[in-house]
Amino acid sequence: MSTSPLRLVFAGTPEFAARHLQALIDDGQHHIVAAYTQPDRPSGRGKKTQPSAVKQCATKAGIPVFQPINFREAADREILASHNADLMIVVAYGLLLPQSVLDIPRLGCVNVHGSLLPRWRGAAPIQRAIEAGDQETGVTIMQMDAGLDTGAMLSKISCSIGPTDSAADLLERLADLGGAGLIDTITALANGQARPEVQDNTLSNYAPKITKAEAEIDWRLDAMSVDRKIRAFIPFPICYTRFAASRPDERIKIWRAQAESKHAHGHTAGVIISADKAGILVACGDGCLRILELQMPGGKILAARDVLNSRAEQFAPGTCFANQGAV
């Protein structure tokens, strides 16, 4: 069945959202009349003001960009209404839209969410799924309401979470799945064939935003939990550890590790058991974690064996890492 082109407004901010915008641009079935994104903010080491990934994508495609702080001002809602949009697509925009905004487009607003709802609602569903040890995740496209990821579901696409997957890996896969699923969902909405499914609120969990304060490793956790957290916090904010007795302010970032079930043989959690070409083996509350790639302060990401070439004494067996919250 052919679909009449819709007038779309797109709202999103990071690269994950930009991938969905690009999918709509490449598809070419509909007219994207405006793109909304967060105001330009400082980022990177130099803290230079940078446009969001969505703004860069929209600008390159010649799509008008709007960057209101929020929609509390009537003027901002009037501008949105002036686009005469049939549908508004929201992907990781960063704002909780009020009902007065959701009611503006003829077909309302739909959101692409990186979880098999209602499993993880909130800002960091992909990271929290890995951290919790979920074996499956996916993308849900839902009709938005005024709640936090509570709207009726229009489409769900699943994918497995592998034992070595990081949040960066899943973001890449889910962006591909979400883009294709979004195009199909828009077609169903345009043809009146969408079949919304109400969420079961009793199955929901909240996925709070990832903070830098969470990134320090607590070696008293079991090795599997530490490994999952390391993978969940890539590409941001990257888990780190510190030496307990020396250089307490130096953060050693851990980029890749492997949980091992072998017993720590009475070693205190955080103690380095061995350090060799196979990596740096650290005792956890249960089991051990082998650090495979790390980054010293101000340095590059290196394999553990390469770090040991010049820092073997620093990582000598018996050396202890600090636990989260320890001074």
Contact yes or no for 321/239 (Cβ under 8 A): no
Does the annotation list 115 as a binding residue? yes
Q: Is the peptide bond before 237 cis (omega within 30 degrees of 0)?
A: yes
DSSP symbol at 56: H
* 196 annotated among ligand-binding-site residues: no
In sequence order, the β-bridge partners of residue 38 are none
Max CA-CA distance within the chain?
69
With beta carbons less than 8 A apart as the criterion, state whether 228 and 252 touch.
no
Nearest of 109, 223, 112, 97 to residue 171 by alpha carbon = 112
Check whether 118 is labelled as a binding-site residue: yes
CA Rg, the chain, in Å? 23
Distances from the Cα of 310 to the Cα of 118, 213, 275, 302, angstroms: 49, 30, 12, 12
CA distances in angstroms from 213 to 209, 225, 266, 325, listed in the order given:
11, 17, 29, 10
Reading the block at residue 174, the tokens are 């889910």
State the Cα–Cα distance between residues 285 and 271, nearest whole angstrom. 11
- Give residues with Cβ within 8 angstroms of 61, minimum separation 6: 25, 32
Binding residues for (6S)-5,6,7,8-tetrahydrofolate: 115-118
Binding region = 115-118
